[in-house]
Structure 1
Amino acid sequence: MFILSELSDTIPIAPNTFAYDPAIAVKDSINKKYANKLIPSVGLALLFYDILTCGEGKIKWGDGLVWHKVTFRLIVFAPIAGEVMVGTVHSSTEQHVRVSMGFFSDIYIPKHALAPYTFFDHEDNAFFMVADIEEVDPDQLDPNKKDPFKSDKETQRLYIYKKDTIRFRVSSLQWQEVEPLPPNVRDKPREIDPETGLPKEMSQEEADAKEAQREQEAGLKIVASIEEQGLGNPEWWANT
């Protein structure tokens, strides 16, 4: 999940940091440039680790900065296909469950990669699996289970709710080249409700559209699965 990644770059040191220890000034400049940034084909840079080499500083005409050629290591979030991880359900649409690790929230479990006999409940805006349906002979199946929405909500449905803990297996990492939207589109304010004077609440259709847009704009998208036994909500398997 986490790796040490070695990088080389030319790092600028600003004049207002000249009084600091050079190692600290270089470290702070690296953190400012890389922390919480995606490094293409590597992963999400989380934290500076150490400096391996640092060249003599050079001043370019016109900017007043001191530039150092530095080789350094960063702690990077870079899961591999097949790795099992645990996160928290961030949101759900009819197309997927989105999972957050706290520091990274572009993990998607597509509908086809959910557990067998999983259905979407529009009232709760959440997926649920009908418990034990795969262990029953279809010819002997309880009539209520033939229609999953007639199953008992308390005893026969295993829901995937927002903020639930979920265990999943990484299927793939997908890097996407994304062009940022214009500010007038990206930061468009919400319509004001004339009765309350407050921004109108987002409809479910708007929320789903926003989720779809986020997925398209993710520089790094992790696709995952919970089809296997032992995956999904850990509480499902607590007594097995």
Structure 2
Amino acid sequence: MDFMFSLVTIRDCVKLSPSKLKQDFVKAIILALNQKYCNKVVHIFDVLEAADPYVHLGEASAIVKVKFRLIVFRPFVGEILEGTVRSSSEEGIHVSVSLFDDILVPPACMQPNTTFDPSEQVWSWNYEENQMFLDVGETIRFRVMGEQFTETAPLQKEVLMAARAAALSGTEVIPVGEELPVTPAPYKLVATIAEDGLGLVRWWQPPE
């Protein structure tokens, strides 16, 4: 496993509705864990133990004590990583690494003479009269410059239904035909490629 990821073992309790108890038990637990930890920078790896469900007096849902492992993504500032160019915009180059997609290389952190083509939605580095495109899917090496944390909370189903109903009634809380707002990422990285050896990996490979 890459050292920018840590495998952590946790004990916790999850609540399963009666309908979930009719499904595959482990899959229902993993779904509940993902919902509980969805605004953290984690990925549920596996479930190690699951006790028998029990129900508190006056409640319909069952409580299950579980022991599970999750993968935590947390590189350190200054660390050099390799990822994949996911997309480009005027905001910068969006990069993904394995389980994590919220990495941004802003224009100020690119090599000098790097420009953006809005028609092609691609950045290119103009080096010694050569135009070197940073295309989607290319492997890119970057240095972590900083972290951005945003407090988020999962949107409740009732809120989404109310917002959609308001839109359909003409109050235009959400314009008809548009998607509901996306919850912002709770954790983002800002990176730089404005150093020798950084940028597309193929730029620095010796000629064959």
TM-score after normalising by structure 1: 0.62
CA apart distance, 1:86: 2.3
| Pairing of 1:1-240 with structure 2 (within 5 A) | 1-13=4-16, 25=25, 27-35=26-34, 37-40=37-40, 43-48=41-46, 50-51=48-49, 57-101=53-97, 103-132=99-128, 151=129, 156-178=130-152, 182-183=163-164, 184=167, 188-189=176-177, 217-239=184-206
Q: Looking at secondary structure, tell me which structure has more strand per residue.
A: 2
CA RMSD, Structure 1 to Structure 2 (Å): 3.5
> Offset at 1:56?
6.8
Structure number, greater radius of gyration = 1
Q: Structure 1 or 2: larger helix share?
A: 1
Query: 5+ unaligned residues in a row in structure 2: which ranges?
Result: 168-172
Q: Deviations over 1:130-175 (max 9, x none)?
A: 224xxxxxxxxxxxxxxxxxx4xxxx11111222221222222322
Deviation at 1:238, TM superposition (A): 1.0
Given that 2:10 and 2:69 are in contact with CA atoms closer than 8 Å, whether structure 1 keeps it comes out as: yes
Other structure's SS at 1:61 match = coil
Amino-acid identity (%): 29
Counterpart of 1:238, as a letter, is Q
Structure 1 unaligned spans of 5+: 133-150, 191-212
Deviation at 1:78, TM superposition (A): 3.0
Q: TM (normalized to structure 2)?
A: 0.70
Q: Is the 8 Å Cα contact of residues 142 and 193 (structure 2) preserved in structure 1? A: yes
Counterpart in the other structure of 1:140: none
Number of residue-to-residue matches in the alignment: 187
The letter of the residue matching 1:114 is M
